[in-house]
Amino acid sequence: MDQVDFEPAQQWAATRLEADEHPSAVKSIIRDLCKQPVLIRAGGGIYNYLYQLRPLSGESGQPKTEGSSILGKFQITWRTNLGEPGRLQTQNIHSTPTASKDIDLRVVKVPPVIFLERPFMVNLCLTNQSDKTVGPFEVFVAPSVPGEEKSVLVNGLQKLILPLVEAFESINFDLSMVATQVGVQKISGITLYAVQEKKLYEPLSDIEIFVDAE
């Protein structure tokens, strides 16, 4: 019979979830679970283990997980048919790293109907996900690469100036554009530039639109 214990890293608390229980119904924390053996039937039986991890807060109240990708490790013990014990400790299990974004720019709304050579507005939202005031910013459409001709252009001023954005706040704004070709086209190259930091952000992903002649 096997015993499987999960030991979370010090910045995590973990709860073992049973298949027939809702997460809210499980109250035990994994730090105490290693004292309670988990059994698996012998003879090739299969048992699934599901754990819910929650970050522990530091003295400041902020999660202590920043800077560490370690989740924890497993302790597995078993006995052979002859009763001989065995033990295995896995290496530390790491989470998949995710890139944090202090500034997030996204498209909120594009008109459902767009006509050839008639200006239309693209609504965007700029969110400051940091704890400090940032800005000002410039928003523009990056020039096309050699051999490529853009079919959706900025209408009017080529650069839109955005003011300072307070910590954890968002601002919505409109970018006036115009399509020069009919059919399925792409809005591409919308780019954000932080003036004071002199930082250029990656352009937004292309957005497909349909342009009607009339």
Mind listing the pLDDT tens digit for each residue in 81-136?
677 788 888 888 887 765 567 899 999 999 988 999 999 999 999 999 888 999 99
Q: Which residues pair with 187 in a beta bridge?
A: 207
Report residue 57's pLDDT band, with 50, 70 and 90 as the boundaries.
low
Say how far apart CA 156 and CA 139 lie, in whole Å.
13
pTM of the predicted structure, to 2 decimals: 0.54
The single-letter code of the amino acid at 74 is F
Highest mean pLDDT among 7-16, 22-31, 40-49, 60-69: 7-16
User: Is there a contact between 8 and 31 (Cβ–Cβ < 8 Å)?
Assistant: yes
What's the confidence (pLDDT) of residue 33? 44
Q: Which long-range contacts (CB under 8 A, 24 or more apart) does 113-118 make?
A: 113/212, 114/179, 114/209, 114/210, 114/211, 114/212, 115/179, 115/211, 115/212, 115/213, 115/214, 116/179, 116/180, 116/181, 116/182, 116/211, 116/212, 116/213, 116/214, 117/178, 117/179, 117/180, 118/178, 118/179
Report residue 39's pLDDT band, with 50, 70 and 90 as the boundaries.
low
What's the confidence (pLDDT) of residue 126? 95
| Residue 62: partners with Cβ closer than 8 Å, 6 or more residues away | none
Strands 39-40, 70-79: pairing is unpaired
Highest mean pLDDT among 98-102, 143-147, 181-185: 181-185
Mean pLDDT of 141-169: 88
Please check the confidence at residue 63 and state whether its pLDDT lies above 80.
no
Q: How many CB atoms lie within 10 A of CB 72?
A: 19
Q: How many CB atoms lie within 10 A of CB 121?
A: 14
Say how far apart CA 138 and CA 158 lie, in whole Å.
10
Distance of CA 92 to the CA centre of its chain: 23
Cα-based distances in Å from 178 to 123, 155, 156, 182, 196: 14, 6, 9, 11, 30
| Residue 84: partners with Cβ closer than 8 Å, 6 or more residues away | none
Looking at the chain, which residues constitute the CATH 2.60.40.10 domain(s)?
103-212
Class of domain 103-212: mainly beta
More confident residue, 99 or 169: 169
Please check the confidence at residue 28 and state whether its pLDDT lies above 60.
no
What single-letter DSSP state applies at residue 69? -
Distance of CA 32 to the CA centre of its chain: 31
